[in-house]
Amino acid sequence: MTSVIRSCWLSAIAAILAVAIGATSAAAQGVTTAALTGVVKDSQGAVVPGATIVAVHEPSGTQYTAVSQGDGRYNIPGMRVGGPYKLTAELQGFGTEEKTGVSLSLGVTTDVAFDLKLAAVSETVQVVGEVNPVFSSGRTGAATAVSRDELATLPTVTGRITDITRLTPQYGGGGTFAGQDNRANNITVDGSYFNNSFGLGTSTGGIGDRTGVAPISLEAIEQVQVSVAPYDVRQGNFTGAGVNTVTRSGTNSFTGSGYYRFRNESFVGKEAVGQVFNPGTFDYKVMGGWLGGPVVKNKLFGFVSVEKQEDSRPLNTFRANLGGEPVAGNVTRVLASELTALSSFLKTNFNYETGPFENIPKKTPGTPWMVKGDYNVSGANKITFRYNQLNSSTDVNQSGSSSLGTSRQTFSSNFLNYANSNYKILENLKSGIGEWNSAFGTFTNNLIVGYTFQDESRDQLATLFPFVVIGDGSGNPITSFGSEPFTPFNLLSYKTFQAQDSFTKYSKNHSLTFGGAIEKFHSDNSFYFGLQSAYSYNTLADFYTDATGYLANQNRSVSPVTLNIFQTRYLLQSGQTTPPMQPLDVVYVSGYFQDEWRPRSNLTV
């Protein structure tokens, strides 16, 4: 009885330590591969050590081998996700058993057992089986896996990964999982961080939030895994979910595809609960293609994906009042005649182009592309490299903040501004990642090294013109013109270097994993608004009075009382012509250890 109690206590302590150690791996990354495990037995149910297990990824010919240990168990980590795989188990004196049609899921260790019969009484047995990884003993914690076939058939409007991750039961919308902010997720692609690290533009919490363009086409993704509570020390750095993605690789066959997708206002409803809705005129087009194949059969493979997006839609559908019209729906209180006259006055007297005040387009061009290579150096060493790039931008309406000028009710029937008072936001990305998986005897090693550069700056204005807000006489603005108030010197770029190495030793009943990870983050940020100066007038008549006085008196206003607010900002550093930058450096370092203990064939601690 005492020995039973002691055994229970030891098991409990081991489980607690596993959870505690896993919790310390805050800088660990996601996983990029799958794994196989299982037990080899004979016809009497006794374990068979020394059997050779060979797994062949049939599309690429990539081969993995393992030998069953003293307890009959074999382990093959670091395998390509997907399939199908052909598995073979053999040992001298026994017949050979084959299993085909096996597919592997990202981050999941799939159990496949073998029963070898004596060669004298049996012939080769071929078993065609399907393994459901949901019930795999290697699957610990809440997780959702989406395969290539599912990615190809699931509907998507945005083309972004959130259209896929919403299949997770814990998904709460907007990229949130388990009730956590989407910035608490850890998003990885082929092991490289794909987070919105600075925290701006948090519609999903991932790269591409600023413009809404997917950094990697869904056509180039092999599998997606969402882990909410993994018990794997290699997965961490989140309190929401770990979203791990693996991109596609080339195979021994040349395959490719070209596609064209489009959407416009004819696909959108015009009425809701009896209320007429005007979606405006918009045009969304995506053209792309991908190609994969062998460079050297069974040895070296390549995959490339290119996509071009063009999205043009109304920035808003509000319009000016033609005079006497009721202010309702998309009709504003701002008179078209006054806006037209003001634009003409500025062009004639200050050579400033305001741009239109209606039917302003929001254009979002985007070009994501990716190239990937896989090299089977030998049966024990495999190297993967992926590089991808995104160039995108989108038009954004001017801010309504009161930090510069008077607070403005943009996107409402009370206010209408000109096109040239808006700005563009950029979302540019360059990312490269390399992975080396190796196996020697009962040891395996996984090394990941990557570098990512992101630019989320505002596109800088070619010329600066004072920002001016015009009111209705009662303190409520009706329009504005001039350079967008917060765009000059609004810059943000950041770089991330990362490295992670995981070493695993397999022995009877135990898999010991040791590892370490480092992430070095550097950002440069400038937010220096007001450089162009800002003016606020109570009425349009006040502006005309002040502007006319300025023009007639050589840069000196004769009626300063008409000016409501004046603001400006200037640099004290003599001769400084570059934006004042605020650098930020952060380094995360972690070490971790994990013991995966299998006291029984159906129990893993």
- Asked if residue 14 has pLDDT above 50, the reply is no
Give this prediction's pTM: 0.82
Span 191-204, average pLDDT: 73
Joined together, the tokens standing for residue 563 give 């000016």
Contacts of 86 (CB under 8 A, 6+ apart): 55, 56, 58, 98, 99, 100, 102
CA distance linking residue 55 with residue 68, whole number of Å: 13
Distances (CA, A) of 490 to 484, 529, 531: 11, 7, 11
Across 205-220, b (16+ Cβ under 10 Å) vs e yields: bbbbbbbbbbbbbbbb
* pLDDT, position 73: 87
Q: CB burial class (10 A; 0-12, 13-18, 19+) of residue 191?
A: buried
Question: Cα dihedral sign for 230, 232, 238, 242?
Answer: negative
* pLDDT, position 85: 93
Q: What percent of the chain has pLDDT over 90?
A: 42
* pLDDT, position 370: 96
Contacts of 12 (CB under 8 A, 6+ apart): none
* pLDDT per position as a tens digit, 78-109: 888 888 999 999 888 888 889 998 988 887 88
Q: Give residue 205's pLDDT band: very low, low, confident or very high (50, 70, 90).
A: low
Q: What percent of the chain has pLDDT over 70?
A: 88
Question: How many residues comprise the chain?
Answer: 605
CA distance linking residue 16 with residue 19, whole number of Å: 5
Distances (CA, A) of 125 to 91, 349, 415: 14, 91, 77
Span 490-511, average pLDDT: 90
- Asked if residue 457 has pLDDT above 60, the reply is yes
* pLDDT, position 23: 38
Joined together, the tokens standing for residue 236 give 């961490």
Span 144-164, average pLDDT: 85
Contacts of 42 (CB under 8 A, 6+ apart): 48, 94, 115, 116, 117, 118
* pLDDT, position 428: 94
> What is the pLDDT of the chain when averaged over all its residues?
84
Give the phi and the psi of residue 547 in degrees, each rounded to 5: -65, -40
SS3 readout for 257-280: EEEEEEEEHHHCCCEECCEECCCC
Residue of 215, 225, 179, 165 lying closest to 194 (CA atoms): 215
Span 180-203, average pLDDT: 77
Return the minimum-mean-pLDDT range out of 105-109, 404-408, 538-542.
Answer: 105-109
Q: Give residue 420's pLDDT band: very low, low, confident or very high (50, 70, 90).
A: very high
Span 564-572, average pLDDT: 82
* pLDDT, position 125: 52
- Asked if residue 270 has pLDDT above 70, the reply is yes
Span 112-117, average pLDDT: 89
